[in-house]
Amino acid sequence: MYLKFLFILMIVLLNGCSGNEHKQFSGYVEGENIYLASPFYGVLNFLKVQRGQHVKRGELLYRLDPNPQQMNISSIEGELAQAQSQLADLKKPRRLQEIEAIEAQIQQTNAQITLADIRVSRYQKLVDKQASDIDSLDAALAYLQQQKELKAQYEANLALAKLGSREDLIKGQQGVVDSLMAKLHVAQWELAQKTIYAPAEGIIFDTYYLQGEYVAAQQPVLSLLTPENIRIEFFVPLAFLNQLRVGQQISFACEGCQKRNSAIISYISPDAEYLPPLVYSRDNNSKLVFRIKAHITNPTLFKPGQPVMVTL
């Protein structure tokens, strides 16, 4: 905090010496890193990059130990294969031998129905000639009806055998398969989170673990500095604040670079920063400054921490 106050004080003094007519303000190049971490823990099995290395978007950076996620995937795949096999069995018709047995029963019943029809016709003629009693005819009719009902039952059994198991069993097993598929997708996603790729082109700013070290969940293994996250930052007194707006183009210079470089203001702090003493009064109004950030037009030419002189 003390160093921060010294830096702001230096800015105010330099701006005061230069005079308001020059509208020049000291600042520096700022870089905001992207910290790349996995949501899961594991040993750092493979670290492909090193500090200062340039990487492209989609390039492999590092990989954590795939277990226990890989073991979980293998377990779910085994359960899924078993559930899918059971579902396929439920959808199949019954065994061919069972279907053939039912068809044979139907054929036998058809033969019995044919004989029963003949018997009924014979008894009907005898009853008409009063050569037989009515009870014999009734018994023949009852037997014929019994065989017809038996045939209907066999035909229903045959239809069920050809269709396979009941629909409710199939739906229940399908639900088991769907649930295991969802679990498998989650496990595969978790495994994929242990292999980290570059989200954008940039420079590896720093690495925080060595290959073989244990990495806790959500702990960054490295940081990436991308060109779009390199900007300049400077402070302006209250007197100049009304001359600035977001989207305004400014120019700046630095040691060892071309004389004029452009940047676009992207942020104007809504809060003021004070130099000691912290109590605001008319006497220390000149010590009131605001933080300004601006995106550099050609950010790859600059390094974080590099001092600059901004001209509005």
Domain end residue (candidates: 139, 169, 187):
187
Q: Among 12-21, 124-133, 163-172, 269-278, which stretch is predicted with the lowest mean pLDDT?
A: 12-21
For residue 198, count CB atoms less than 10 angstroms from its CB and return exposed for 0-12, middle for 13-18, buried for 19 or more: buried
pLDDT digits (tens, 9 = 90+) for 165-180: 567 788 899 999 999 9
For residue 224, count CB atoms less than 10 angstroms from its CB and return exposed for 0-12, middle for 13-18, buried for 19 or more: buried
Higher pLDDT pick, 238 / 293: 293
Residues 77 and 177 in one domain: yes
Average pLDDT over residues 96-102: 80
Domain end residue (candidates: 132, 159, 187):
187
- β-pairing, 230-237 vs 249-253, is unpaired
Query: Which residue(s) pair with 272 in the sheet?
Result: 290
Residues 167 and 253 in one domain: no
Instruction: Output the pLDDT for position 281.
Output: 47
Task: Identify the residue whose tokens are 């009063």.
Answer: 130
Average pLDDT over residues 6-24: 53
For 244, residues 6+ apart whose C-beta sits below 8 A from its C-beta are: 236, 265, 268, 292, 312
How many CB atoms are located within 10 Å of the residue 310 CB? 24
Amino acid at site 2:
Y
Extract the tokens encoding 78. Answer: 């085994």
Task: Identify the residue whose tokens are 């018997």.
Answer: 119
Q: Which of 89-103, 152-166, 176-190 has the largest mean confidence?
A: 176-190
Extract the tokens encoding 22. Answer: 């020059």
Residues 182 and 78 in one domain: yes
For residue 206, count CB atoms less than 10 angstroms from its CB and return exposed for 0-12, middle for 13-18, buried for 19 or more: middle
Q: Are 263 and 231 in contact (CB under 8 A)?
A: yes
Does the pLDDT value for residue 58 go beyond 50?
yes
d(CA 274, CA 5): 8
Extract the tokens encoding 115. Answer: 């004989």
Q: Among 50-59, 70-79, 288-297, which stretch is predicted with the lowest mean pLDDT?
A: 288-297
Residues 29 and 80 in one domain: no
Domain end residue (candidates: 135, 162, 187):
187
Extract the tokens encoding 24. Answer: 């020049």
Instruction: Output the pLDDT for position 3.
Output: 44
Query: Which residue(s) pair with 28 in the sheet?
Result: 233, 307
Give Cα separations from 67 to 17, 40, 52, 74, 279 (angstroms).
63, 10, 30, 11, 57
The secondary structure of 92-123 as a DSSP string is S---HHHHHHHHHHHHHHHHHHHHHHHHHHHH
Residues 78 and 178 in one domain: yes
Residues 255 and 167 in one domain: no
Does the pLDDT value for residue 239 go beyond 90?
no
Residues 128 and 173 in one domain: yes
What is the edge-to-edge ordering of all strands in the sheet holding 214-215?
A: 195-197, 60-64, 42-47, 214-215
How many CB atoms are located within 10 Å of the residue 8 CB? 18
Read off the DSSP letter of residue 37. E
Our count of domains for the chain comes to: 2
Amino acid at site 234:
F
d(CA 213, CA 207): 12
Residues 81 and 179 in one domain: yes
Query: Which residue(s) pair with 179 in the sheet?
Result: none
The range of the structural domain enclosing residue 305 comes to 2-36+227-311
Read off the DSSP letter of residue 276. S
For 300, residues 6+ apart whose C-beta sits below 8 A from its C-beta are: 227, 230
d(CA 274, CA 68): 52
Residues 162 and 99 in one domain: yes
Q: Among 117-121, 245-249, 291-295, which stretch is predicted with the lowest mean pLDDT?
A: 117-121
